[in-house]
Structure 1
């Protein structure tokens, strides 16, 4: 089993990314909680991985920290939550999900594409006790703020397009994605990850 990958980040278009290791490109799916912390392209990245096998597919999932991978593995143990839905749920920050579970916030959870009321209620019931004490001080696991591209490196139209495409890939309707991005886009934003994060927060309040 592949436990982690350490290589060069060559492609990233949420929720997919490719890491090159000695000429071999590994295709991974990653939650937005990982995308927010990825370095720029052509830089080294270390990802903790989970390999999922089903009757119809095989998929490698990547996480910026062991804590996020552990959280993902807890999610997929919940009845009705598969790996792809878990990635969608983790479009929220991990600590925000923990707060939703601890506060019985079904309303916020059902705003994630594919999560219905019954699934949200199961998440809360099955994970509440497991998540006590989960939220940790900032900086645990060696997570640092993402590298920021210099303003002007990417056109705003490109940023908007990448952000909308990522939201659609996560399960949102194109019209929902476009509206969310338009609400939060600002000239000073220079990374699509930052724009996606703001758009998601506008749609999924904790």
Structure 2
């Protein structure tokens, strides 16, 4: 079983990346919270891996932080939640934010994730509440990144928009929803990277 990958980041097309490990390319699905922390293509990466096997497929899910993998594994044990939905949940909110939603019975925040209806959100809260009681909620480094980042002018906006919309659709949002999310963000911000546009789009939902 593959539990860890370390190598060169060859491709990055959210939510999938390609990591070269000694000449072997591994396709890995990552949540947006991990994607934000990855280096540019060509950089070195180390990921904690969950290897998912089903009747029809095999897939690698990668996480920058081990606690994100732990929470992913906890999520997929909930009835009705598969790897794809778990990936969407962890893409829509940071780990500590999800724990806060569960412990605070915030159904309205969870149903904003594509594929998560009210019943699924309620099931997540019921089944995860006891499992997450001892979870240590810490200040996320992403919050520091968010506070430090400043909007900048982009000279390749069309490419950034296309990449961001494609990533949101792959997470389960409808094309019209993805376009609207991106457009709303661009009305208030100018960004230089697709990862930043995706993050702001997803953040706008959680804050709505």
TM-score (norm 1): 0.90
Give the match for residue 172 of structure 2: 171
CA 1:30–1:204 in structure 2 vs 1: closer, same or farther (change >3 Å)?
A: same
Counting helix residues as a fraction of each chain, which structure ranks higher? 2
Shift of 1:205: 3.0
CA 1:187–1:79 in structure 2 vs 1: closer, same or farther (change >3 Å)?
A: closer
Give the match for residue 197 of structure 1: 199
Matches within 5 A, 1:29-178: 29-91=29-91, 92-132=93-133, 133-138=135-140, 155-178=156-179
What secondary structure is seen at the aligned counterpart in 2 of 1:90? helix
Q: Hey, what's the Cα distance between the residues in 2 that align with 1:154 and 1:4?
A: 37
Q: Unpaired runs of 5+ in structure 1?
A: none
Shift of 1:198: 0.6
CA deviations over 1:107-157 (Å, ceiling 9, x no partner): 111111111111111110111122234312445xxxx959x9xx7786111
Give the match for residue 27 of structure 2: 27
What secondary structure is seen at the aligned counterpart in 2 of 1:38? coil
RMSD value, Cα: 2.1
Q: Unpaired runs of 5+ in structure 2?
A: none
Aligned structure 1 segments of 4 or more residues deviating by more than 4 angstroms:
151-154
Q: Hey, what's the Cα distance between the residues in 2 that align with 1:166 and 1:154?
A: 20
Whether the aligned pair in 2 keeps the contact of 1:100 and 1:106 (CA below 8 Å) is yes
Whether the aligned pair in 1 keeps the contact of 2:153 and 2:191 (CA below 8 Å) is no
Single out whichever of 165-174 and 124-133 deviates more from structure 2.
Answer: 124-133
What secondary structure is seen at the aligned counterpart in 2 of 1:204? helix
CA 1:154–1:98 in structure 2 vs 1: closer, same or farther (change >3 Å)?
A: farther
TM-score (norm 2): 0.89
Whether the aligned pair in 2 keeps the contact of 1:106 and 1:117 (CA below 8 Å) is yes
